[in-house]
Homo-oligomer: A and B are copies of this chain.
Amino acid sequence: MTTVELPIRSTSAACCVGEACSPITREPLGSGGATALATVLKALADPARLRLLSMVAAHDGGEACVCDLTEPLGLSQPTVSHHLKVLVDAGFLTRSRRGTWAYYALVPGALDAVAGTLATV
């Protein structure tokens, strides 16, 4: 499986998807902005990845070790690590290694930026 560098990573958390920073219903969405936003939404559009984001957010201190995330999902650690990598690459999670384990935290503003592109009000 290959992973791609998603546009969200190279821009600020407050403006996640390049051309598509404005709500899509406020102004016509160009081809580039649509592709960028679709790529970011694809990274979210997976049940395991949505649950991982939710679990990281709910964890003490807003940070979770991969060792805390595997068992509740009922998936193998390589599978969980793959999903975490997709979320890191898409700019939704940060990853830091301390000792044996990698720890994950939400990137502030990243989910809100995507929400802002969909909100109409």
Chain A residues in the interface with B (C-beta under 8 A): 20, 24-29, 31, 34-35, 37-39, 41-42, 44-51, 53-55, 57-58, 106, 111-112, 114-116, 118-121
Contacts and interface: CB of A to CB of B under 8 A. Distances in A.
Chain A's interface: helix, strand, loop or mixed, by majority? helix
Contacts of A20: 50
Contacts of A35: 47
Contact of A41 (B44, B51, B106): B44
A89 to B, nearest CB: 15
Contacts of A48: 34
A63 to B, nearest CB: 13
A38 B25 contact: no
A48 to B, nearest CB: 7
A50 B25 contact: no
A24 B118 contact: no
5 tightest CB-CB pairs across the interface, nearest first?
Answer: A25-B57, A41-B45, A29-B54, A34-B47, A115-B119
A44 B111 contact: no
B31 A51 contact: yes
Given A112-B119, A115-B116, A118-B112, A29 B51 contact: yes
